[in-house]
């Protein structure tokens, strides 16, 4: 490993990266941590996003292509001891690669542009694992954007970044807009707004999904409040054919997004 290895968990460089685990510092520095080979690889694919890389000697060998790509891009690569990597990482068993990245979100007008056909909106979603999984699912379903409204979890939360499995870097992500602002913009762009909620009078089988569509997904515990349901063009529930009480947020989102994607592609 070229250069000296960071071994002191109290060194200024380690402390500067470590503090990005807290939202206040992420917002101040407009930077976050991407941990693991998948996230780091996808971050490196976007020029100017990754600003420095920490790697253990074992990871440098195992993921030589990623480390080499960082160096070729002119990104500083810091060797890190196992103790330092454990201090920086937010997982129980770190994989030895961690990048400091710049924020990647975009304004609402840019994220949901003319011609958008499928958008996922997270309203009051607080669980970062669920939010990251919805982001990953939206990416897989070919969505044009994912919107995190102002009452939802920070998409740069470490658990959310990991759950997105690199999808955070694949499609436009919008943050901090109000639900009212988002819905107004979606309708101006010609998208029909569907609220996914167990209280829906129509099921997924009852609605036409082949046109441009935005899905609003609500809080894991209490769903969507009445004021948000009232903004939607339709309130739709996923039909339950068995005895389960409900589906969790990420699963319901996958069902809805893929139903739209399939309908749009077969239209």
Question: What's the first-to-final CA gap in the chain, in angstroms?
Answer: 54
Contacts of 226 (CB under 8 A, 6+ apart): none
Domain ranges of the chain: 5-102, 108-266
Fold topology of 108-266: Alpha/beta knot (3.40.1280)
Q: For 5-102, give the CATH class.
A: alpha beta
Q: What are phi and psi of 235, to 5 degrees?
A: -105, 120
Tens of each residue's pLDDT in the chain, 267 residues: 445 788 888 999 999 999 999 999 999 999 999 999 999 999 999 999 999 999 999 999 999 999 999 999 999 999 999 999 999 999 989 999 999 999 999 999 999 999 999 999 999 999 999 999 999 999 999 999 999 999 899 999 999 999 999 999 999 999 999 999 999 999 999 999 999 998 888 999 999 999 999 999 998 888 899 999 999 999 999 999 999 988 899 999 999 999 999 999 987
Q: In what order do the strands lie in the sheet with 213-217?
A: 173-177, 145-149, 118-122, 213-217, 192-196, 234-237, 202-203
Distance CA 20, CA 26 (A): 5
Q: Which tokens in the block code for residue 47?
A: 């020029």
Q: Residue 26 forms beta bridges with which residues?
A: none
The 10 Å Cβ neighbour count of residue 2 is: 8
Q: Please, are residues 214 and 186 in contact by the beta-carbon 8 Å criterion?
A: yes
Q: Please, are residues 127 and 154 in contact by the beta-carbon 8 Å criterion?
A: no
Distance CA 50, CA 47 (A): 8
Q: What angle do CA 203, 209, 213 make, to 5 degrees?
A: 110
Contacts of 10 (CB under 8 A, 6+ apart): none
Distance CA 197, CA 191 (A): 18
Q: Which tokens in the block code for residue 104?
A: 């990647």
Contacts of 71 (CB under 8 A, 6+ apart): 77
Using alpha carbons, select from 148, 24, 42, 33 the residue that is nearest to residue 80.
33
Identify the pLDDT of residue 3. Answer: 53
């Amino acid at each position: 490993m070229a250069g000296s290895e960071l071994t002191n968990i109290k060194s200024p460089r380690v402390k500067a990266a470590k503090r990005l685990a807290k939202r206040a510092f992420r917002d101040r520095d407009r930077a976050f941590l991407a941990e693991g080979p998948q996230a780091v690889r996808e971050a490196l694919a976007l020029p100017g996003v990754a600003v420095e890389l920490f790697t253990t000697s074992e990871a440098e060998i195992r993921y030589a292509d990623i480390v080499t790509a960082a160096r070729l891009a002119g990104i500083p690569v810091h060797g890190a001891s196992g103790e330092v990597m454990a201090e920086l990482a937010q997982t129980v068993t770190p994989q030895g690669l961690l990048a400091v990245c710049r924020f990647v979100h975009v304004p609402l007008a840019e994220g949901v542009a003319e011609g958008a056909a499928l958008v996922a909106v997270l309203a009051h979603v607080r669980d970062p694992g669920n939010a990251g999984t919805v982001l990953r699912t939206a990416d897989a379903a070919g969505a044009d954007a994912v919107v995190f409204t102002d009452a939802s979890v920070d998409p740069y939360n470490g658990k959310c970044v990991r759950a997105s499995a690199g999808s955070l870097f694949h499609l436009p992500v919008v943050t901090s807009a109000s639900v009212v602002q988002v819905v107004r913009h979606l309708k101006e762009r010609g998208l029909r707004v569907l609220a996914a909620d167990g209280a829906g009078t129509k099921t997924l089988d009852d609605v036409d999904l082949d046109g441009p569509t935005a899905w609003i997904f609500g809080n894991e515990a209490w769903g969507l409040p009445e004021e948000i349901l009232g903004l939607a063009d339709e309130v739709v529930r996923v039909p339950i054919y068995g005895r389960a009480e409900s589906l969790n947020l990420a699963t319901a989102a996958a069902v809805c997004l893929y139903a739209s994607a399939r309908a749009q592609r077969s239209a």
